C-alpha cells in the first residue's frame, strides 16, 4: 500500500456518460496530481492541486475537471466520455518539490 | 517546455547481468530533479531512484545507479545483477524546475525484460 488511495479500481461506462474518480493522498501530502496513461504510452500530466487550490494545468480537456476538498482528497470528473478517453488514470501526491511522487494504483477507465 | 526522450522502446537482459537504460532531456533550467520510475505488469508506478541536478554525485539505490551528465542532459539508469522481478516498463521523468514546478514530465518508457 503506497498510502495513496484511488477508487474505483475499474470503471466501465458508455460513451456520453460522466464519471468521477476519487483520490485520497498520502497523509501529510498537500499536493495532488492527476495523470492519464493511454495504452502503452507514457503518462500525461492533467492537473495539480495544492492545499485546495489549482496550481498547474496540463493537457486536460475542457470536458474534464477536478477539485481538491478541505480534507485534501481530490476528484477528477470526466464528462461526455468518448472511446478515446479509455485509459489508466493515476493520482499521485507529494509533500515537497523534488521529493518524488507517491502514486496510487490507478483507475482503469473503459469507455464502450 | 521540458521534453524527455527514451530512445530504447524495448530492451532485454539475462538474469544476473547488467543493463543500462538511456534517457535524455531538454531544458533551460539549471536546478531540477530527475527520476526513474518502474511500472511492472501490475501497472503500479514505483519510484526507483532520484537525482538532484545540483549534486554532481550520481545517485545509487542498491542495485540501481544513475549516470547523470548535466552538460549533455543525459540521465541513464544502470541495473546490476538483474532479477526476474526487474521486468517492467521504466520511465524517466523530469521535474522541479522553476517553470515546471513540481509536476513531472515523463518519457515514453523502455520495456525491460529480464530472461532466465
DSSP per-residue codes, B36-95: EEEE-TT---EEEEEEETT--SPPEETTEEEEEETTTTEEEEEE-S--GGG-EEEEEEEE
Q: How far apart are CA A109 and CA A35, in angstroms?
A: 13
* pLDDT of B23: 98
* Residue in B42, B52, B103 closest to A45 by CB: B103
Residues B16, A2, B47, A42: is their CA dihedral positive or negative? positive
Choose from A98, A99, A102 for mutation: most chain B CBs within 10 A.
A98
Q: Do B103 and A103 touch (CB under 8 A)?
A: no
Q: Which residue has the cell 503506497?
A: A2
Percent above pLDDT 90 for chain A: 84
Q: Which residue of B has its CA nearest to A33?
A: B103
Establish, for the pair of chains A and B, how many residue pairs have beta carbons separated by less than 8 Å: 64
Digit-coded pLDDT (tens) for A49-98: 999 999 999 989 999 999 999 999 999 999 999 999 999 999 999 877 66
How many other C-beta atoms lie within 10 A of the C-beta of residue B99? 10
Q: How far apart are CA A37 and CA B77, in angstroms?
A: 22
Mean pLDDT of A9-14: 97
* pLDDT of A100: 74
Shortest alpha-carbon distance between residue A46 and chain B (Å): 10
Amino acid at each position: 500500500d503506497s498510502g495513496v488511495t484511488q477508487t474505483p479500481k475499474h470503471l466501465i461506462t458508455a460513451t456520453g456518460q460522466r464519471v468521477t474518480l476519487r483520490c485520497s493522498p498520502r497523509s501529510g501530502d498537500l499536493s495532488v496530481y492527476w495523470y492519464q496513461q493511454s495504452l502503452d504510452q507514457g503518462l500525461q500530466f492533467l492537473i495539480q492541486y495544492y492545499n485546495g487550490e489549482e496550481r498547474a494545468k496540463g493537457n486536460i480537456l475542457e470536458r474534464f475537471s477536478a477539485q481538491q476538498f478541505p480534507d485534501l482528497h481530490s476528484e477528477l470528473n470526466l464528462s461526455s466520455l468518448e472511446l478515446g478517453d479509455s485509459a489508466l488514470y493515476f493520482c499521485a501526491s507529494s509533500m515537497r518539490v523534488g521529493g518524488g511522487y507517491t502514486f496510487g494504483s490507478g483507475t482503469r477507465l473503459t469507455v464502450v | 517546455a521540458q521534453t524527455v526522450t527514451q530512445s530504447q522502446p524495448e530492451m532485454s537482459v539475462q538474469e544476473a547481468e547488467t543493463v543500462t537504460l538511456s534517457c535524455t532531456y531538454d531544458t533551460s533550467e539549471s536546478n531540477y530533479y530527475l527520476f526513474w520510475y518502474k511500472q511492472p505488469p501490475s501497472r503500479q508506478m514505483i519510484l526507483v531512484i532520484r537525482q538532484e541536478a545540483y549534486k554532481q554525485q550520481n545517485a545509487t539505490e542498491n542495485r540501481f545507479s544513475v549516470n547523470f551528465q548535466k552538460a549533455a542532459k543525459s540521465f541513464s539508469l544502470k541495473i546490476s545483477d538483474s532479477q526476474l522481478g526487474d521486468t517492467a516498463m521504466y520511465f524517466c521523468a523530469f521535474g522541479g524546475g522553476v517553470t515546471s514546478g513540481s509536476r513531472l514530465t515523463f518519457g515514453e518508457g523502455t520495456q525491460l525484460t529480464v530472461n532466465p
